[in-house]
Structure 1
Amino acid sequence: ESICNLLKQHTTQFDRALSPMSILSPIDYPMNDLNAIEPSFMYSQLLKEILLDAEYEDYARKALTQLWRDGYQNNRFQLKIIDEFERDYNPDLAIWWYTRESFTYSMLNRALRTIDIDHMIKMGFFLCDIHRQIQQIHAETSKIEDLRTVYRGQGMYNTEFEKLQKRIGGILSFNNFLST
């Protein structure tokens, strides 16, 4: 395998392995005392709510595709995908675009993981569409009686796992979409 393919594979594995998350213990942060909640957790939750409640204009897609073009200006393959996104994007296919073998997955998760507010705002309509589509699928599948339980593996450092074990019963918030 070429070094380029190996690097792509390892980058994808890294993107999927580490999910940044906030873990709040019910002892350390009682839910009835909002002043005790860690500020970074509160701000990230507020930002998510703002992004999901915002109304997006038609130019939002143009702004996002321009951001992507700037980042991939020397990559003809990705530029073709960006053109396709700008031309054909449909909110009902948001999950398809997110999981498509392209830059969309890593760009969105990088913005969420690093809390890159500028990128998150520009990707806001896309985040919103993914969120709505997940809600719709959940509403449709929650009525199905023959559900199956599936599991998703998650890479995690020992320190994070120990922190998780100590905070059983608390709140766990991921700064990305959990995808399989």
Structure 2
Amino acid sequence: MAENVITTNDSSKSTSNQIVENFIFVWLNSGCDEPHEKNQQFISKLETIINSIEKFTDIDQCIELLAKIKDEKIFLFISDSLGRKLLPLIQQYTQIYSIYTTFKQQLWMQQYDNIKNVSSLDELLDKIQEDIRQLNNDLISMSIIPQSSNTDLNRLEPSFMYFQLLKENLFVLQYDQHAFDELITYCRTIYHNKKEELNNIDKFQKNYDKNKAIKWYTDECFVYHVLNKALRIFDIETIMKFSFVLRDIHCQIEERHI
């Protein structure tokens, strides 16, 4: 019988159910929902670096989720015999970025290029952090730097053209305290159970300075993760929430190139 999916997200809040970052962690294991101290400690640590975590004890439910993921990359952890049964069924899912396993290297694993062996949950955390850094480098967001006037506009992708038009409006609008408060509320909602990011949001609320917008983006906190994905998939609603931050980054870049 299929068991319920166990997730770190609060289903009572629709916004918090969104995958707001570029990646999601999926764990398939017959005992991953058991209250083992090591499991709980691992999940607590993992929550500080990944916002979306899904745990499954049923292969069918796991596959159902994997099939739905379109815009995010998946970190998949398999740690018992269920994983070996799962792998032949998911080879078509290109969104799977890395597969981690505690199995010792075996012959059947050689047909999967993205399997990584780990000897412990602590090593798994280190591998995930390495892969997140690599993934963020691989995923190129649309540039907010003004384009050269020599660009052949007829050859640009329609989405890029649309983004250029959006930029023109974003950067001339005036933003008030309401826009700032709205962004804070949104970020608190999507990170409502992530203590570290909530602390970052507090600092952002108290200390944000338009002359330090680039620093906030490059610090790889919530600003970087959410905005980076929104730009990559052209999520207009989220881009608009961060519009004053984008404007401030744009202004800083222009000042540095004068």
Q: What TM-score, normalized by structure 1, do the two folds share?
A: 0.64
Whichever structure has more helix as a proportion of its residues is 1
Give me the whole-angstrom Cα distance separating, in 2, the residues matched to 1:17 and 1:49: 27
Q: Over aligned residues, Cα RMSD in angstroms?
A: 2.3
Q: For 1:59, what is the secondary structure of its paired residue?
A: helix
Whichever structure has more strand as a proportion of its residues is 2
CA drift at 1:30: 6.1
CA drift at 1:7: 2.0
Structure 1: gaps (5+ residues): 23-28, 140-180
Q: For 2:175, what is the secondary structure of its paired residue?
A: coil
Q: For 1:66, what is the secondary structure of its paired residue?
A: helix
| Residues 1:9 and 2:130 aligned together | yes
| Residues 1:18 and 2:131 aligned together | no
Greater relative contact order structure (CA < 8 Å, 6+ sep):
1
Aligned to 2:230: 111
Q: Is the 8 A contact 2:231 2:239 kept in 1?
A: yes
Structure 2: gaps (5+ residues): 1-121, 144-150
Instruction: String of CA shifts for 1:105-133, please: whole Å, max 9, x gaps.
Output: 12111110010101100000000001101
Give me the whole-angstrom Cα distance separating, in 2, the residues matched to 1:59 and 1:43: 26
Given residue 254 of structure 2, which amino acid in structure 1 is its aligned partner?
Q
| Residues 1:64 and 2:183 aligned together | yes
Aligned to 1:166: none
Given residue 42 of structure 1, which amino acid in structure 2 is its aligned partner?
M
| Residues 1:48 and 2:164 aligned together | no
Give me the whole-angstrom Cα distance separating, in 1, the residues matched to 2:173 and 2:140: 25
Q: What TM-score, normalized by structure 2, do the two folds share?
A: 0.46
| Off by >4 Å, runs of 4+ in structure 1 | none
CA drift at 1:21: 5.6
Q: For 2:257, what is the secondary structure of its paired residue?
A: helix
Aligned to 1:88: 207
Which of 203, 224, 239 pairs up with 1:120? 239
Give me the whole-angstrom Cα distance separating, in 2, the residues matched to 1:43 and 1:30: 15
Structure 1 residues 56 and 3: CA distance shift in structure 2, 3 A: same
CA drift at 1:83: 0.7
Given residue 179 of structure 2, which amino acid in structure 1 is its aligned partner?
A
Give me the whole-angstrom Cα distance separating, in 1, the residues matched to 2:139 and 2:257: 24
CA drift at 1:49: 1.5
CA drift at 1:37: 6.2
Instruction: String of CA shifts for 1:150-173, please: whole Å, max 9, x gaps.
Output: xxxxxxxxxxxxxxxxxxxxxxxx
Q: For 1:53, what is the secondary structure of its paired residue?
A: coil
Given residue 16 of structure 1, which amino acid in structure 2 is its aligned partner?
N
Give me the whole-angstrom Cα distance separating, in 1, the residues matched to 2:127 and 2:223: 20
